[in-house]
Structure 1
Amino acid sequence: MSFDPTRPFRRADGLAHGLTDKVLRGPGFRQLFRGVLVASTTPATPLQRVVGALLLQHEDAWASHASAARVKEAPIPTIADEHVSVAHQKMRCHHRGLRCHVGDPSGVVVERGVRVSGDVEMFIELGGQLGLVDLVVVGDWLVRRRGASPAHLVRACERSRHKDARKALAAARYVRRDVDSPMETRLRMLLVLGGLPEPEINLTIRDEDGAVVRRYDLSYPGVRVAVEYNGKVHVEVLATWEDDLERRADIDDDDWRLVVVVSSGIYRDPLRTLSRVHRVLVSRGHPDVRPRLLDDWRPHFPGWSDAA
């Protein structure tokens, strides 16, 4: 194969193709791992680092866990190390910044030119790396973007012998269809773990002719309460802001109560969000609302200091 320094390569391969050690240590190249470099003119990407990690492993190794998620562009939090898997303990190689696992190669697929764990296998592997809410975010994304089904995820976790299958199963039972964004998943999980009834996802309201009037991210149609996450786009884009104003006026006409949640209501003060929704549901007479919120949300969201 021709030597292409714009793709990750081993230092030994660079030397074999006429590059000197002085040149390889110079500003023209960037080190991804010890002994793995790439031309510094190429943009640094998660995929580039995963490819570099695989160069340090057996030729049959594949990207797994968080590295598989990065190749697939799944919504996961920052995880420093790269993760690869091999079929046998004797094939493992250890390097700084790289974790090597032993896994089952039967579920390996090729994506973006890289051998990676399949979607379901990756979800189970992430059970050991992500918390409950972040793993549900990945599950909802797999259903919405990759064609998985909640029931299939549950069955796969139940059958799996992977050491993290039990954690993955706990998350899979919360995975739902038609979730539009990670923040909607987090908001739904906050409500459910707080002990509130599980809201309906993406309820569609139609007029007398059957035309779609509006959709609600999360809702309790029995008492006409909608809970929605609004990101910065709703504030920064004038047209979106004006549409929101008109939409809320229509909601008032239909006697719906809209509870709007922004990022601070999830990351900074989730207890306030729970209290707001709880108060509205109680005032609307929802039959399944507990008199007091549960504390199950606290290990997964900010707010330990608000325990009182």
Structure 2
Amino acid sequence: MHCRAVELNRSIHRQQATPDTQGSEPHPGQMRHDKEILIRMPVLARRQDAKRLGLSEYALSGRGDTAQPFPGVYIHPSETEPLRVPSWVDDHWLDIHTRVRALQLQRPDAVVSHATAAFLLGWPIPYVVRGPIDVTTPRSRMRRAGVRGHGPRDVATAVHRGVMMARQSEVLRGISASSTPRQLITVLDTICGRWHGPPAAHPDDIRKMIEDSPRFRGSEALRTALASARAGVDSPRETDLRLLIVAAGLPEPVVAHPVRFDDETLHPDLSYPELRIAIEYEGEHHRTDPRQWDIDIVRERVFREAGWEYIRVTQSTRPETIIRLIRSALERRRGTVSRAA
């Protein structure tokens, strides 16, 4: 079921503070972090709340323009409330969030879990946005239109952006049996990396969680994926790049290795530190954000002046080109090291 929240949320007013660094000289060590923004979300109401919120019987009858994310819960046509969210959220995220709030207004015992919770956490897994909401309930499996019920069982919970969700360790266990090995590696890199904010865990924390948990469906798949996950990854594209390099038979590069220059320390996305080869993946924002573009230019100059090979990769760079560039750099550098020795 697809509610009108998407159409409503497209016109939501967003407020975002101007970065303090605007106007200053670009610094090669600066990283682009996702900021939080304040948005206005529509107020939701049950029929018993209608009078208090000024909703008429006409508005509740279905003849007006009052949308229902779930039967019996209405989106107020004018009243909104503030919600602080990451800047990366889109209309689909807001739509799912609205549907989840509507469901929990009726069923406070419905804990968002599995793929829906992973989606709201910003994890990069395939998710059918217009599909059912995944929930786990403590007493009986929920069976209703627009819901995929799990359980019944008690799960550890936490409030996330105003909705009750399973804790992240529970969500990870929940998706491990239905995800491919590549998807699990990408999710683990995201949890332990900085794509959508600071790292939520370290691979050692997840390893301990698996060891301390009773055996669950997908535990072996998760354990296997964890062996290929790395801390410090900045985006799923960087995960793809690292796995591409390894699959081609090249040595695995180091993730976010600290490189000390005269008065600063930089962390290339991937590198072979002993050979002085840096590999950077540049997403769309590197091209569209003028300040980020300036930072990238300064960053490359710093590395090259210090004698490093500097390989820049974008989404349009063909895989065979990436491998050829890296293999050639490895051969050149290994020859230089051998001659120096």
**TM-score w.r.t. length of structure 2:** 0.67
Give, in whole Å, the separation in 1 of the partners of 2:319 and 2:325. 10
Give, in whole Å, the separation in 2 of the partners of 1:189 and 1:217. 13
2:98 maps to which of 35, 45, 48: 48
1:178-197 aligned at under 5 Å gives the runs 178-197=232-251
Q: Supply the AA of the counterpart residue of 2:333.
A: R
What secondary structure is seen at the aligned counterpart in 1 of 2:100? helix
- Pair 1:6–1:161, CA change in 2 (3 A): same
Give, in whole Å, the separation in 1 of the partners of 2:56 and 2:291. 55
Q: Which residue of 2 aligns with 1:295?
A: none
Cα offsets for 1:40-77 (capped at 9, x unmatched)? 445854322222233565x4231101222344344444
Give, in whole Å, the separation in 1 of the partners of 2:330 and 2:228. 22
2:157 maps to which of 102, 108, 114: 108
Q: Which residue of 2 aligns with 1:155?
A: 208
- Pair 1:236–1:84, CA change in 2 (3 A): same
CA positional deviation for 1:31: 2.5
1:29 maps to which of 45, 59, 66: 66
Cα offsets for 1:6-32 (capped at 9, x unmatched)? 44445x546798753664414432232
CA positional deviation for 1:239: 4.1
Give, in whole Å, the separation in 1 of the partners of 2:110 and 2:250. 44
1:1-308 aligned at under 5 Å gives the runs 6-10=42-46, 13=48, 19-20=56-57, 23-41=60-78, 44-55=94-105, 57=107, 59-80=108-129, 81=131, 82-88=133-139, 91-102=140-151, 104-144=153-193, 145-158=198-211, 159-208=213-262, 211-265=263-317, 269-285=318-334
CA positional deviation for 1:228: 0.8
Give, in whole Å, the separation in 2 of the partners of 1:16 and 1:247. 60
Give, in whole Å, the separation in 2 of the partners of 1:175 and 1:257. 25
Q: Supply the AA of the counterpart residue of 2:319.
A: P
Give, in whole Å, the separation in 2 of the partners of 1:24 and 1:194. 61
Long gaps (5+) in structure 1:
287-308
Percent identity of paired positions between Structure 1 and Structure 2: 27
CA positional deviation for 1:258: 1.5
Q: Tell me the number of residue pairs that the alignment of Structure 1 and Structure 2 aligns.
A: 273
- Pair 1:192–1:112, CA change in 2 (3 A): same
- Pair 1:249–1:142, CA change in 2 (3 A): closer
Contact 1:157–1:166 (CA<8 Å) still a contact in 2?
Answer: no
Give, in whole Å, the separation in 2 of the partners of 1:195 and 1:160. 36
Q: Supply the AA of the counterpart residue of 1:170.
A: T
What secondary structure is seen at the aligned counterpart in 1 of 2:75? strand
Give, in whole Å, the separation in 2 of the partners of 1:221 and 1:94. 55
Give, in whole Å, the separation in 2 of the partners of 1:252 and 1:6. 51
Mean alpha-carbon deviation: is it higher for 118-127 or for 160-169? 160-169
Larger RCO (alpha carbons 8 Å, 6+ apart): 2
Q: Supply the AA of the counterpart residue of 1:117.
A: A
Give, in whole Å, the separation in 2 of the partners of 1:240 and 1:93. 47
Q: Which residue of 2 aligns with 1:291?
A: none
- Pair 1:54–1:97, CA change in 2 (3 A): same
Q: Supply the AA of the counterpart residue of 2:225.
A: A
CA positional deviation for 1:155: 2.9
Give, in whole Å, the separation in 1 of the partners of 2:96 and 2:171. 16
Contact 2:135–2:148 (CA<8 Å) still a contact in 1?
Answer: yes
Give, in whole Å, the separation in 1 of the partners of 2:148 and 2:178. 12
- Pair 1:261–1:160, CA change in 2 (3 A): farther
Contact 1:54–1:84 (CA<8 Å) still a contact in 2?
Answer: no
Give, in whole Å, the separation in 1 of the partners of 2:72 and 2:233. 42
Long gaps (5+) in structure 2:
1-40, 81-90, 336-341
What secondary structure is seen at the aligned counterpart in 1 of 2:245? helix
Cα offsets for 1:201-227 (capped at 9, x unmatched)? 21222235xx21533111011222111
Contact 2:255–2:268 (CA<8 Å) still a contact in 1?
Answer: yes
Cα offsets for 1:127-170 (capped at 9, x unmatched)? 24443334333323323435422112123234342212233223
- Pair 1:186–1:33, CA change in 2 (3 A): farther
Q: Supply the AA of the counterpart residue of 1:111.
A: H
- Pair 1:133–1:271, CA change in 2 (3 A): farther
Query: Aligned-residue CA RMSD in angstroms?
Result: 3.2
